[in-house]
A and B are shown apart, each in its own frame.
Chain A
Amino acid sequence: MADRAGSGSKSGAGSGADDIGRGPGRVLILVYGVFALSAGARAGVQIAAKWHEAPVAYALSALAAAIYLVALAGLVRGGRTGRRVALAACAVELAGVLVVGTLSLLMPTAFPDETVWSTYGRGYAFIPLALPVLGLIWLRAANRSS
């Protein structure tokens, strides 16, 4: 492992498979892990304690958490399947943050409580908006070098 840690992506075409989980990919794994945990825990608490107050918002938070978890699993698993799973998750995530972000601005009454994706993820320093973009860029770059 130590001999390939240096440059991360160029060693061995056979193991190009797990390249998406190395280097910058490992940073993405951390960030996706944090968001899967925080969005999931938050949704769990909200759904358990006050589901009736804002069911749409809480269901969306839970959906976001699930998508983060899928992206995380794809990155950790690596290989062709892992990469496809991660790509799909990042694409859905980007669509989600754009659609929900726009809707939350146009129809604020439909979202009485914040979701991870409200106002393009403002409550989370806009990381929910940057994350899928960075993910897609990284998956593309990793594919090219392997």
Chain B
Amino acid sequence: MNDGLAIAIMIFSLLLGAWCLAATVRQRWLDLSHLVGLAALELALLTQAGFVIAGMAGGHRPTEFVTFIGYLVTSVLFVPLCVGLAAMERTRWGAAIAAGGCVVAAVLTLRLQQVWQLHG
């Protein structure tokens, strides 16, 4: 797993989450800047999944393997799911959903890193 990328994802997703929350506070739905940011975040999460899969192909196997795979799959699917849910809710609350998705992406990346480091 690429630590630099993981840290970059955590910082970026928390900043993006704050930016989405700012839209909620201003009673707005997401604008183009948020959507571009969310697309970039998803791209970074997919890249991270690529690094992880390459690492596992290279023989690295976390001890809590099932948990790890659960986090990995969720980390890739969650942001698109939130964007879909936000598209159904074109109010300030849609922006809050996107903000929640960003926070979860940061937490999932942190957990992925923690579980990745425990291996036998």
Contact = CB atoms under 8 A, between A and B. Distances in A.
B91 A8 contact: yes
B90 A26 contact: no
A23 interface: yes
Interface in A2-28: 2, 5-8, 22-24, 26-27
Contacts of B82: 30
Given A31-B100, A34-B104, A26 B66 contact: no
A41 interface: yes
A26 B85 contact: yes
A130 interface: no
A42 B68 CA distance: 11
B66 A45 contact: yes
A128 B91 CA distance: 25
Interface residues of A, number: 18
Contacts of B85: 26, 29-30
A107 B44 CA distance: 44
Contacts of A41: 67, 70
Contacts of B70: 41, 45
B101 to A, nearest CB: 8
A135 to B, nearest CB: 15
Interface in B95-114: 96-97, 100-101, 104
A26 B88 contact: yes
Nearest to B66: A45
Given A30-B85, A31-B100, A23 B93 contact: yes
Nearest to B67: A45
Given A31-B100, A34-B104, A26 B67 contact: no
Given A30-B82, A45-B66, A45-B67, A5 B91 contact: yes
A27 B95 CA distance: 9
B1 to A, nearest CB: 20
Interface of B: 64, 66-67, 70, 74, 82, 85, 88-91, 93-94, 96-97, 100-101, 104
19 contacts: A2-B90, A5-B89, A7-B91, A8-B91, A8-B93, A22-B89, A23-B89, A23-B93, A24-B96, A26-B88, A26-B94, A26-B97, A27-B100, A30-B82, A30-B85, A30-B97, A34-B100, A41-B67, A42-B67
